[in-house]
């Protein structure tokens, strides 16, 4: 059984499949769940605010500007796809995934 990774590269751009969890106790990058990476944010899921908050949180985690993260789809949904241009660093969960 092959496990589908939660991310892939398109040149310098990281394409990331996300399972969002709004209204969490803290902002956190969780574990992969299927072909998605679980990401929790404290913001409530109202009018895309949780997604905007997630983009700001991830920009810091990946060392990029918020403008370097594009929400491909799922702005108003827990299932999202993000494109991150030239991330400066990758959270530890990516290294663990690449070993599999």
Q: What is the pLDDT of residues 9-46, one digit of tens each?
A: 999 999 999 999 999 999 999 999 999 999 999 999 99
Is the pLDDT reported for residue 100 higher than 70? no
pTM of the prediction? 0.91
For residues 71 and 82, what is the distance between their CA atoms, to the nearest angstrom?
A: 5
> Would you state the pLDDT for residue 98?
53
Domains and CATH numbers, the chain: 7-99 (3.30.1200.10)
Q: Residue 21's pLDDT is what?
A: 97
Around Cβ 68, how many Cβ atoms within 10 Å?
18
pLDDT above 50 for 48: yes
């Amino acid at each position: 059984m092959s496990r589908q990774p939660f991310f892939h590269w398109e040149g310098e751009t990281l394409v990331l499949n996300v399972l969002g969890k709004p209204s969490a106790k803290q902002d956190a990058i969780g574990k992969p769940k299927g072909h998605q990476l679980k990401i929790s944010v404290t913001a409530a899921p109202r009018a895309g605010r949780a997604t905007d908050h997630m983009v700001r949180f991830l920009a810091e985690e990946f060392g990029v500007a918020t403008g370097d993260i594009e929400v491909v789809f799922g702005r108003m949904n827990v299932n999202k796809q993000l494109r991150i241009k030239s991330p400066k660093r990758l959270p530890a969960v990516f290294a663990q995934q690449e070993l599999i």
